Amino acid sequence: MLGLGTAHLNCLVKLTELERLGARYCQTACIGLQNALVDFSPENSDAVLATSILLGWQARDKITYGKFAQGTAHVLSLMRPWNDESKLIELVGPVPPLSGRMKESLLMYSTISDESLSSLKPLSEALMKLQSELGDGTELRKAAHTFGVYVQNLRDLPPGSPLADQISLLFPVRTFLPMVPSRFLGMGTRDIWALVIMAYFHVILVATAAKFPETATSLFAVKRTEIILRIDNELHSINTKTSDAGKSWELEKGMAMMRLPMLYVVDYRFRYCVLKE
């Protein structure tokens, strides 16, 4: 956590000393992780998993990132016998039943057929449209642009590509975390565009997992579909509680922009989780 905090601070101030300090913290964490793996057990499995995830996000090169991604997936597989005991049950546990409202959303969107999802063209187009809806120079627009570049690279990489190429594609994702809009952190879940941006952050990784299933575990793809469902549910809740006279164009546009993420959620859940709903 110290390494992650230092890395994020360095993103803002760009100090060499902070970079060195962050590297030192990560090195210390790596040593601790190696020692913990020697005696891996239910007692230390949560710490091992959390450390693997955090160190992966802080990896400085593609090879290291790839090793941590594979290591995270391996740790998750080892934890299966005692998942119910984990304090990280939301990450490692089984797919929970959907709430009534979320199931309604899923069923509603499942009636919309869109066979072009796998081409990722609709996602690229939606991100371009999202940029046009946001003001120039805003952090939200910058995030939408960055996500668009990522999706284009994802489109260019054919299914069945070597693992090294997949890791190269995923490596920039670790830099997306600092893009969590400060508006989202400061204003809560009532900021329409912050919610939409967060939905697209998660959906591009769901799309990645759909194209390259071997990445699904380390990307926590199923859990990301749950987050998108919650965001959609929150927007519908805001819409229901707002009088017709008080509804803004932001709410209307934001709900319209959620259509595509929800289609990806439907596609992914029905393909990989339908028996668990």
In contact, 117 and 107? CB cutoff 8 Å = no
- Residue 218, φ and ψ in degrees, nearest 5: -70, -20
Which among 91, 87, 106, 96 has a CA at the least distance from the CA of 47? 87
* SS3 per-residue string spanning the chain: CHHHHHHHHHHHHCCHHHHHHHHHHHHHHHHHHHHHHHCCCCCCHHHHHHHHHHHHHCCCCHHHHHHHHHHHHHHHHHHHHHHHHCCCHHHHCCCCCCCHHHHHHHHHHHCCCCCCHHHCHHHHHHHHHHHHHCCCCCHHHHHHHHHHHHHHHHHHCCCCCCHHHHHHHHHHHHHCHHHCCHHHHHHHHHCHHHHHHHHHHHHHHHHHHHHCHHHHHHHCHHHHHHHHHHHHHHHHHHHHHCCHHHCCHHHHHHHHHCHHHHHHHHHHHHHHCHHHC
CB 49 within 8 A of CB 75: yes
| pLDDT score at 126 | 92
Longest Cα separation, the chain: 63
| Per-residue pLDDT at 252 exceeds 90 | no
Q: Are 151 and 123 in contact (CB under 8 A)?
A: yes
Nearest CA-CA partner of 264 in 213, 212, 204: 204
Q: Cα separation of 61 and 228, whole Å?
A: 29
Question: Considering only 48-52, 99-103, 192-196, 203-207, which range has the smallest mean pLDDT?
Answer: 99-103
Write the pLDDT tens digit of every residue in 146-192: 999 999 999 999 888 888 888 888 888 877 765 555 555 444 556 88
Tens digits of residue pLDDT in 103-116: 666 666 665 555 57
Is residue 14 predicted with pLDDT exceeding 80?
no
Most confident of 80-84, 128-132, 212-216: 128-132
pLDDT at 217: 79
Neighbours of 112 (CB within 10 A): 10
- Tell me how far apart the alpha carbons of residues 221 and 54 are, in angstroms, rounded to a whole number: 17
Q: Note the pLDDT tens digit of each residue in 45-76.
A: 888 888 887 787 777 788 887 888 888 888 88
Q: What percent of the chain clears pLDDT 70, i.e. is strictly above it?
A: 71
Q: What is the pLDDT of residue 149?
A: 93
Q: What pLDDT is recorded for position 172?
A: 83
End-to-end CA distance of the chain: 34
pLDDT tens by residue, 19-52: 666 666 667 777 778 888 888 888 888 888 888 8
Q: Could you tell me the two tokens for 187?
A: 């204003």
